[in-house]
Amino acid sequence: MATNEKPKVAFFDFASCEGCQLTVVDALQTHLDLLDAVEIVQFREAMTEKGEDYQIAFVEGSCTRKSDEERLHRIRKQAQIVVALGACAHTGGVNALKNLHPLEDVRRWVYGDKADWYETYPARPIDAVIEVDAFIPGCPIDREEFIRVVKALLLGKKPSIPDYPLCVECKLKENVCLFQVGKFCLGPITRAGCGAICPTYGDGCEGCRGLIPNPNENAMKDVLAEAGLTVEEIMARFTMFNTYPLQEAKR
């Protein structure tokens, strides 16, 4: 990316709430100078113009149907760098919760006898379909981490995402551990980088940034059981954002 021209950036979305793109818009509030460093050529949610000559593609959302695959392959073919933006693109996020049920049940529950009108299959993160160069985890993404990743990419570096657990950040914030106050949390096995924002606001980590490398899942389950959770509740907490990776690990 060592040219004098500003790198061209495009944003795409698949099955998602578009909250990560909104977070990007919000990040610009405090980093308007970013607009001087890149040229945004496509961002359907915010602009009419469409350019197809992008070098960096940010992709939000999960792949949930055959027609998504074709779009993803087109993006991969054009972009030098593809970045998975947020949990839906990174781990499948909450979209993959439907994978816990038989697909035909899921379709019938929502669309009844008209289910055949609407194309869908089990939700997947985008790297299940195309090669992905960088991930920005989280539901939603963290604004400052987004800015750090963009800066790294513009400098031609591989962005570094923490691989230590959330507890590290929570301790640095001097939060009282939620297990000490009768709550529960997935912090010990979840990838840090959000500043432990949920525990800071009194709510246990839900694992939206994905699990750390080699997580001790059994020890985590024991701790949650000691905190009084039923097996079903433990599985619910594990699967909220990580259904897809957990199911893949069992294959």
Residues that bind other proteins (CB under 8 A): 13-23, 25-26, 29-30, 32, 35, 40, 43-50, 61, 64-65, 68, 93-95, 97-98, 100-101, 105-107, 109-112, 114, 117-118, 120, 139-140, 197-198, 200-203, 206, 232-233, 236, 240
The β-bridge partners of 76 are none
CB of 152 to other proteins, least distance (A): 24
In the complex, the smallest distance separating the C-beta of residue 35 from other proteins, rounded to whole angstroms, is 7
Measured CA to CA, the distance from residue 41 to residue 153 in angstroms comes to 17
Residue (108 or 171) nearer to other proteins, CB: 108
Q: Is the peptide bond before 140 cis (omega within 30 degrees of 0)?
A: yes
Whole-number Å distance between alpha carbons of 147 and 34: 8
CB of 214 to other proteins, least distance (A): 26
What phi and psi values does residue 114 have, to the nearest 5 degrees? Answer: -100, 10
Cβ of residue 66: shortest distance to other proteins, in angstroms? Answer: 11
DSSP-derived 3-state class of residue 39: strand
Q: Which is nearer to other proteins, 68 or 127 (CB)?
A: 68
Nearer CB in complex with other proteins: 191/237: 237
Looking at beta carbons only, is 5 or 36 nearer to other proteins? 36
Smallest distance, other proteins to C-beta of residue 201, A: 4
Nearer to other proteins, 113 or 214 (CB): 113
| Residue in the block written with tokens 């959770």 | 229
What is the C-alpha separation between 105 and 21, in angstroms, rounded? 31
Other beta carbons less than 10 A from residue 124's beta carbon: 23
How is the beta sheet containing 56-60 ordered, strand by strand? Answer: 39-43, 8-13, 56-60, 81-85, 134-136
- Answer for the pair 136, 86: CB distance below 8 angstroms, yes or no: yes
Closest distance between other proteins and the C-beta of residue 48, in Å?
4
Of 118 and 164, the one with the shorter C-beta distance to other proteins is 118
Rounded Cα–Cα distance for residues 177 and 198 (Å): 12
